[in-house]
Amino acid sequence: MTAPTLQDILEKTVSADPKDQQVALDYLKQALESNFAEFLKHLTEILAQTGQKPTVRQAAGLQLKNVLVTKDEKLKEQLVQRWMTVSEPLRFEIKNSVLQTLGTESTRPSIAAQCVASIACAELPLGLWPECITRLMQNVVEEQATEMLKESSLEALGYICQDLESDVLQARSKEIVTAIFHGMKQQEQSNNVRLAATQALLNSLEFIRPIFENE
């Protein structure tokens, strides 16, 4: 599958015509099953393209996120196992790309943030990708960070805190708290950033409470 073809298919997933939608979804399912790693690579590339139509970027991100997201715990294990079959260099490339995509979207909420969180929720319990939390924190506290970068990074942290058990995040709790409180501070001029930080705080209360009890 070439990227231009995939762009056309992704655009049809949001078509007003149900037939077009179904054709597109069937095509994507087949692509996923026939060459999983290559499919993820193309989705990541399209998501990262700032000149691409926002709807196409969102559709690419949605497909990428859904590779790892399910409410069924048994199926979740299978999805994570399949993700781990992707070569380490390609997984690194995908993870780096979705992190770099944060702050480049023109739509809210950020689909890149959801992709970052879905991968983090798959890898952090395995002891992988701890630097993701550090990077998200740095995105928020960096003086030159744009509003969209801070907001999307806080969204990603919020999703991660919502979906992972507190013991998985305990080692990174101070970085998470630093990012959240930085986003909530009075000097922050963006209501969207403060809202994202507040939501992340609500999602992290279970595991950050001991920090305050110990101080």
pLDDT tens per residue across span 70-84: 989 899 999 999 999
Domain boundaries for CATH 1.25.10 within the chain: 130-215
Instruction: Tell me which CATH code domain 130-215 carries.
Output: 1.25.10
**Alpha-carbon gap, residue 192 to 68, rounded angstroms:** 27
The token pair that represents 89 in the structure block: 């260099």
Instruction: Tell me which H or E stretch contains 104.
Output: none
| C-beta separation of 171 from 134 below 8 A | no
Segments of the chain assigned to CATH 1.25.40: 1-127
Look at the alpha carbons of 134, 138, 139, 140 in this order and tell me if their dihedral is positive or negative: positive
Q: Residue 4's pLDDT is what?
A: 42
Q: How many CB atoms sit inside 10 A of residue 78's CB? A: 11
Phi and psi based region of residue 185 (left: phi greater than 0; alpha: psi -120 to 50; beta: remaining): beta
Pure H helices in the chain:
3-12, 18-34, 36-48, 54-66, 73-83, 88-101, 111-123, 131-141, 147-163, 166-169, 173-184, 191-214
Instruction: Let me know: does 68 contact 29? Beta carbons within 8 Å.
Output: no
Whole-number pLDDT of residue 59: 97
Q: What is the CATH number of domain 1-127?
A: 1.25.40
- Report whether 157 contacts 179 (CB < 8 A): yes
Mean pLDDT by 10 residues, the chain (215 residues): 74 91 93 95 97 96 96 93 98 98 96 98 97 98 96 98 91 94 95 97 83 62
CA 181 to the chain's CA centroid? 21
CB 25 within 8 A of CB 31: no
